[in-house]
Chain A
């Protein structure tokens, strides 16, 4: 008996130690990134990255905020708006389409599903995509440009469809017997019953909208509509250009080329980092959504 308790404790200790080491390995890059971002640029250039800063300095953050404080605030505003609005719209679009193709009574649901799936395997390509967005849908420099192209993600669509299909037909049927039409069934019954799946897909969308700089590069040229990621991407791109001599105009400014990359990473991931623990519970549950029978 004592032996068993002893071996259990050893196992627990070993498991704990392995998890601790693994966690530290995961934490290390983030910590190093943060530490470099608050290090003196000159010493980083000379001695490389150090976990404990040789000289503490907030110059990089000052560089980021001093010259661009109002722009950064504006960009945060744009990102927040696009993330919130985009996530809600994307959830509405995706769930409605997912519900439609989950219904066995819809005649062409297989064809519609295939059509969606087809675009994943054979994307139209950059130029047709651009022409559709700019010339056909007239999205350039509109708020929809930052939302609509990501409004339906096919992977999320099938995730939701699978979840909706797992809801027993008898429940939907009983609602119809009570006189509910398809939209009522969808909005009053299916949506509330799919909270976990919606939260998971919502989180996927939120991260996608939060992290996106691509749509703004392609479709936005008005500075006041730059989201945070594009704004920071721009700074990083200019820093790289300055450092490599591509942009030969660096004679008048000194840009902290190494530390700024780290500071940009911290500024970018921080909000999501704080958000993540709050929705972690639903996220873990949601990962199981994909495992639900199709």
Chain B
């Protein structure tokens, strides 16, 4: 009897241990964007933001006299082989000698980056700094995934303040306090509203500029007569500047809020008649066979298509001629690229100061040291070149004032840290592009909503629903994959049901309150 009791007890114990281990397996579902909607309150963080502790490393101490610490950083993408050796050798030595710190980089695949970042912060895991996209700043704020860095900037970020224009910080404030470093200081006026074009064919066709949709069509017709293999556009070129009858900028999920820069009134972009006109223009191109279903089915792969060298245009992002030229030249060795704005007579609006931000996490163990490290990148051109391009002679060589890279492996991402004072143009871009790039922001006007952060905490569900409708219905309409007349009314119905009007009203309310201040 006693024996049976003991056996049962031991069986029960084994069971409990097994169940405890099994608990670890529950809830394992892929991280998606929606997972990031989980409350990421800093209150949940078990690692306390040890500002006080790390403040012991006083500002008076030189960086090398400070306690040796290890910073934890999360970084998107996959580590290249050269980066692996660079981080453990040259860069590690530099960090140790100059800042008395070591760096541990956790690389997270692009698809999972935001989901895992949110989970890690919510779980209170040590992350000293991380990257995010500038347009995601409102999400960062909504999820309490940042800290106020005003004091840190003053104490340890003097070179950041020197190298990044003061107004660039404005869009990244919460209640007046800076919460992110707008690390990329490059041209941003009308970002994503320009057109990337093959200029080698322009020269051949005797076309010197692109100012309108009609110019795009004329250019294509002239080229395709001589080169029938050439296709129109790898992605839908932005036509907003020409088709929207007033000066405007777009905000909100999927650019769904159209802000009239003249009146300060917001409206739903997809309900504006200009949207219909643009869709009909794309449908016209589709009917002529100029664009295909790839633009819908593989909407995100426009750069891959453009790299085949068979497309005249793509949507632009100001710096694409510099970023994509080598890729295109693999298939079209003579290719040259530049970017153009339609309706150039209209004002150019800056709606965002930086498309890339660096955030000191609320779970940072060494926030002051993290700031020192970020500051180091911008402290001198020597540091900037070393971090991004590596060792001269080994990883790159200079040809006059242009750079030629000797390795295909990337180190710290250039686009992330790009600074107009330090930017190094490659040997493959044209002088024309450099001229256009340097002058891009000249005469730019600040958008009415510049510096305003749309707090979407109250409309997070609505935003998710709107995104679903935009992905399911409006992408196919925008790319003319489906018939506009048949499908638009239902799409509008869905958009309204998802709360588009309330969403716009909330934006307007917050913007008005911001402007009133």
List residues of chain A with CB under 8 Å of any chain B CB.
42, 45-46, 67-68, 93, 96-97, 100-101, 103, 105-108, 112, 115-116, 119-120, 123-135, 137, 139, 148-154, 181-182, 214-215, 217-218, 221, 223, 233-235, 237-238, 240-254, 257-258
Contact = CB atoms under 8 A, between A and B. Distances in A.
Contact of A106 (B12, B30, B112, B120): B12
B38 A127 contact: yes
A252 B112 contact: no
Interface of B: 4, 7-8, 11-12, 14-15, 18-19, 21-31, 35, 38, 44, 46, 76-79, 81, 84, 104, 106-112, 116, 119-120, 122-125, 300-305, 307-308, 310, 317, 319-320, 322-327, 330-331, 405, 408, 410, 413-415, 426, 428
A121 to B, nearest CB: 10
Given A112-B15, A240-B111, A250 B327 contact: yes
B28 A46 contact: no
A243 B234 CA distance: 12
Contacts of B14: 96-97, 100
A120 B19 CA distance: 13
A223 B305 contact: no
B307 A254 contact: yes
A46 B27 CA distance: 42
Nearest to B36: A126
A254 B330 contact: yes
Given A139-B24, A234-B78, A97 B116 contact: no
Contacts of A42: 308, 331
B110 A237 contact: yes
A217 B116 contact: yes
A215 B35 CA distance: 16
B323 A251 contact: yes
A190 to B, nearest CB: 14
A129 B120 CA distance: 11
List of 10 A-B pairs having minimum Cβ-Cβ separation, nearest first: A243-B304, A237-B109, A244-B300, A129-B27, A123-B27, A221-B106, A152-B22, A241-B110, A119-B26, A149-B25
B303 A243 contact: yes
6 contacts: A127-B38, A129-B24, A150-B28, A244-B301, A247-B110, A253-B327
A251 to B, nearest CB: 5
Contacts of B304: 45, 242-244, 257-258
A245 B24 contact: no
Nearest to B106: A221
Contacts of A154: 22
A252 B326 contact: yes
B15 A251 contact: no
B12 to A, nearest CB: 7
A1 B410 CA distance: 77
Contacts of B408: 252-253
Q: Which of B23, B116, B122, B305 has the most CB of A within 10 A?
A: B23
B19 A115 contact: yes
B303 A135 contact: no
B322 A214 contact: no
Contacts of B122: 127, 130
B361 to A, nearest CB: 15
A131 B106 CA distance: 18
Contact of B12 (A108, A217, A221, A234): A108
Nearest to B414: A249
Contacts of B125: 134-135
A96 B112 contact: no
Contacts of B22: 97, 116, 119, 151-152, 154
Contacts of B120: 130
Contacts of A46: 308, 310
A126 B317 contact: no
Given A42-B331, A46-B310, A130-B119, A237 B12 contact: no
Contacts of B330: 254
B18 A96 contact: yes
B303 A124 contact: no
Given A181-B7, A244-B301, 6 more contacts: A45-B304, A135-B125, A151-B22, A152-B22, A244-B300, A249-B414
A251 B11 contact: no
Given A100-B11, A126-B27, A241-B77, A135 B124 contact: yes
Contacts of A132: 23-24
Nearest to A239: B304
B368 to A, nearest CB: 24
Contacts of B415: 248-249
Contacts of A244: 300-304
A257 B158 CA distance: 42
Which of A132, A153, A243, A257 has the most chain B CB atoms inside 10 A of its CB? A243
Contact of A245 (B26, B302, B308, B413): B302
A128 B116 CA distance: 13
Contacts of B24: 129, 132-133, 137, 139, 148-149
B46 A135 contact: yes
Given A126-B38, A245-B317, A151 B119 contact: no
